[in-house]
Amino acid sequence: MSQRSVEQGFHPPQQARSRESLQKVLAATEHVLAGRGIEEFTVAAVAEQAGMSVGAIYRRFAGKDQLLHAVKDQLLGQLETSVSEALRSPPPGLSGIVGAFTQALARTFAHHDRIFPELLDGQRADGRERGLQALGAIQHAFVEAAHPWLGEIHRPDRAAAIRMAARTIIGSCVHRAATCRFWPDDLTWSMWATETAELALAYLISPENPGPGLSTPG
């Protein structure tokens, strides 16, 4: 967990047994969120799901806000790690970078998309700050990984184009995770990643569109 986690009122354990206990609590938190939603989310429900006493949870967490923050922090940490690992040795070329990036996002959200809308509903300002920090980190990782392949981009401003592609992919992913339960698109996460990568690549390798009614110089 991040240093920010410690500041939010819960403390990452140092010993293996305590870490296992924490993961049990966080898994129970996800289960309750997925099954009951934010409105019925309570520490007591998490304790029951985890097979622990309410007091045992309160010894580590100040309350349900800290539980929610811990789950969100773990999800975002997994997202950062997944992207970093995928971009460490992707297939060559711009298409390899874009494909690895979108699939890394998809793999993470495929395991957590049932709780993501609930986390958004329950987040406070500090939760948004952590989310923006993670999104900034993965955008930076993508831009850095794509830098050696900027020559494949046909847009007038290549650096701006790769940032635009990163933000569009990330925005599409977050929007899908937040809405897919209520506005399904009939795609698996892997299918979404493939289609989104193709859209991003089509933008990156196409020249600038002069706009309706305008023609490029002959």
Give the predicted TM-score (pTM) of the model: 0.82
Place of tokens 């986390």: 119
Which segments of the chain belong to CATH 1.10.10.60?
Answer: 3-65
The pLDDT tens digits of the residues spanning 105-139 come to 999 999 887 787 777 766 665 667 888 899 999 99
Please state, in angstroms and rounded to a whole number, the distance separating the CA atoms of residues 176 and 113. 9
CATH number of 71-204: 1.10.357.10
Domain spanning 3-65: CATH 3.60.70.12: no
Place of tokens 């047994």: 17
Residues of the chain with CATH 1.10.357.10: 71-204
pLDDT digits (tens, 9 = 90+) for 170-188: 999 999 988 887 888 999 9
pLDDT in tens, 7-16: 444 555 555 5
CA 131 to chain centre: 8
**HSE of 79, CA atoms in CB hemisphere, 13 A:** 29
